[in-house]
Amino acid sequence: MKIAAKGSPERLAELGLILSSAGLNYIGLESTKNIDSHEYDLVFDLNFDDDPHSLSDYLKASGSKTYFLLSGVKMQIESAVPRQLWQKVVFINALPGFLGRKSIEYCTLSDSFDASVFSSIGWMDANKTASRVGMVSPRVVFMIINEAYYTLQEGTASRNDIDQGMKLGTAYPLGPFEWCDKVGLKNVYETLSALYDDTHDERYRICSMLKTEYLSLQNK
């Protein structure tokens, strides 16, 4: 199987570990400009959530056998991807900390995509989600992180106490602030923001402390 991938070093490292467990590797792409001149089975774009401009490149290659596996947690396929690509695009949860697990969340509108490909490249469990912003795991984890920020903002407990309490009380592998560090505050904030814009559900209204930390990070 011929696999290509584009993304940050951290996300590529997570992908590489999964592929290596299945005896596979990937060809690194600096750009997708000439993707139509290659015959890949799968192309991973692990930064698509933050840089969707590569869609025009994938349109050129849409007639090939290639499937494009794009990091697509902060958006919905129907609103982000042209209809001509719906049969070729698969959104996956490729946020840091999620990609390296043995299970993968994905969403596709294609009626020809064979999800068994995931097990053949290292993910033992593939969970198809509805075409909605946030998929499933990010919605749950980021909502917990947001609630942890409300608890911290109220002065009820420290970050460390909240992390320890969640791990001891619920047997979670990571506390909410540890999860936030692993995934990245930028990804947490922007996913929650997209969720709130999409649903107007108060559960996703961002804590002002979380927002302030995000804005401070952006202005560094």
CATH number of domain containing 142: 1.10.1040.50
What distance in Å separates the CA atoms of residue 98 and residue 169, rounded to the nearest whole number? 22
pLDDT at 155: 94
The residue out of 128, 153, 176 marking a domain boundary is 128
122 and 87 in one domain?
yes
Verdict on whether the full-model pTM lies above 0.85: yes
| Phi, psi torsion values for 68, nearest 5 degrees | -105, 115
Instruction: Identify whether residues 124 and 141 lie together within a single domain.
Output: no
Do 121 and 203 fall into the same domain? no
113-156 per-position pLDDT tens digit: 999 999 999 999 999 999 999 999 999 999 999 999 999 999 99
Angle at 71 between CA 52 and CA 58, to 5 degrees: 50
According to DSSP, the β-strands at 89-92 and 103-108 are: antiparallel
Query: Of the candidates 1, 138, 6, 134, which has an alpha carbon nearest to the alpha carbon of residue 69?
Result: 6
CA max distance for the chain: 58
pLDDT along the chain (220 residues), means of 10: 93 94 94 82 94 88 86 96 94 94 94 93 94 96 97 95 94 94 97 96 96 90
Q: In degrees rounded to 5, what are phi and psi of residue 70?
A: -110, 140
Q: How far apart are CA 202 and CA 6, in angstroms?
A: 35
Q: Tokens 């007639």 belong to which residue? A: 63
- Identify the pLDDT of residue 31: 87
